[in-house]
Structure 1
Amino acid sequence: MSERLNLGKSGADLYQAVVELDRLVSRNLISAGLAEGFSHLLRLRASQINGCAFCVRLHARDALANGESSDRLAVLAVWKETDYFTLKERAALELVEAITLISVDQLPDVIYEQAAEHLSTDEVSAIEWLAVVINTWNRIAISSRYPVKT
């Protein structure tokens, strides 16, 4: 692969603004009562969809380090086919996926209504902001070709 401009270095002030936004989103997730381990599974799922190897590795490790099981991590890409996730978690995963794929079908009403049925307003807001931020990070890492080496 050819080397790319590193956005973290070429626009350090903009990069730091995203770091700060990420910090605020993490704080918001905690305030809304979402488990930190699960928040990394949400980030991981968006990163899987976007094909961001750097973020997939990072959030898989972070999910495990924050109490998520290796089984839940292993089945995340096919979560709809399992019983590993509660109705609330399933609604959160659907919401993150829909926002990640927003160019395909916007954010369908049925997914938003399902999220609102199972999640509080604070949780919906926190999850939507998480989706915005992880999709931003995915685009930074992918376009900069952040290295993923053994």
Structure 2
Amino acid sequence: MSEESRVHLSRSAPAAYQALAAFSKTAGQLAREAGIDPRMAEIVQIHVSQRNGCAYCVRVHVDRAVKVGLDADTIAQIPTWRESGVFSERERAALELAESFVYIHDGGVSDEVYDRVGGVLAEEEYVALSWLLVSINAFNRVAIAGRYPVAARDGHA
């Protein structure tokens, strides 16, 4: 089956997609109000999308990350954040929580992760970040299920 013959969820049920987009916007606003800076928000959304295998959302959030000032080195270090020294303690806590949300089916957010993250982020930040992670995971599933294309840029293959 070609990608052209697949059902495109956002076009086939625009009201549902618009509701998801509105939810995402609300989650983003909640994150900003809680003190989650745009850099950290984009880092975790890239990482979730990488872990879920969503090339489309990786592209979207890398573009947004560049706009908020992330450089190529920082973006390249996201998959190896545990070994990298470029992330703050807050970002590392957020990345650890992000992985728990990707693998939520594997025992949820463990007590160890919850305690570690809770020792770094305030409850309001934890809650806001959690909603942001729910949102990006949902978008990943829509894009992956629909096989949203990611074309090469500038003629690169």
| TM-score, L = length of structure 1 | 0.96
- Pair 1:45-2:47 in alignment: yes
Is the CA contact 2:55–2:150 (under 8 Å) kept in the aligned structure 1? yes
- Offset at 1:93? 0.6
In the alignment, the residues of structure 1 paired with residue 128 and residue 47 of structure 2 have an alpha-carbon distance, to the nearest angstrom, of 16
The one-letter code matched in structure 1 to 2:69 is G
The one-letter code matched in structure 2 to 1:30 is R
One of 61, 70, 73 as aligned partner of 1:71: 73
Larger radius of gyration: 2
One of 94, 97, 103 as aligned partner of 1:95: 97
In the alignment, the residues of structure 1 paired with residue 121 and residue 17 of structure 2 have an alpha-carbon distance, to the nearest angstrom, of 31
Residue 9 of structure 1 corresponds to 11
Q: Which has the higher helix share?
A: 1
Is the CA contact 2:35–2:125 (under 8 Å) kept in the aligned structure 1? yes
Residue 127 of structure 1 corresponds to 129
The one-letter code matched in structure 1 to 2:2 is S
SS, match of residue 28 in structure 2 = helix
In the alignment, the residues of structure 2 paired with residue 137 and residue 60 of structure 1 have an alpha-carbon distance, to the nearest angstrom, of 15
The percentage of aligned residue pairs carrying the same residue is: 37
Give runs of ≥4 in structure 1 deviating > 6 Å. none
Structure 2, unmatched stretches of 5+, are: 153-157
Superimposed CA distance per residue, residues 107-143 of structure 1 (whole angstroms, 9 cap, x where no aligned partner) = 1110011111000111101111011000000000000
Q: How many residues align?
A: 150
RMSD: 1.0
- Offset at 1:105? 2.8
In the alignment, the residues of structure 2 paired with residue 73 and residue 65 of structure 1 have an alpha-carbon distance, to the nearest angstrom, of 12
Residue 25 of structure 1 corresponds to 27
Superimposed CA distance per residue, residues 53-81 of structure 1 (whole angstroms, 9 cap, x where no aligned partner) = 10011111111111112211010000000
Structure 1, unmatched stretches of 5+, are: none
Is the CA contact 1:38–1:68 (under 8 Å) kept in the aligned structure 2? no
- Pair 1:34-2:36 in alignment: yes
Residue 138 of structure 1 corresponds to 140
| TM-score, L = length of structure 2 | 0.92
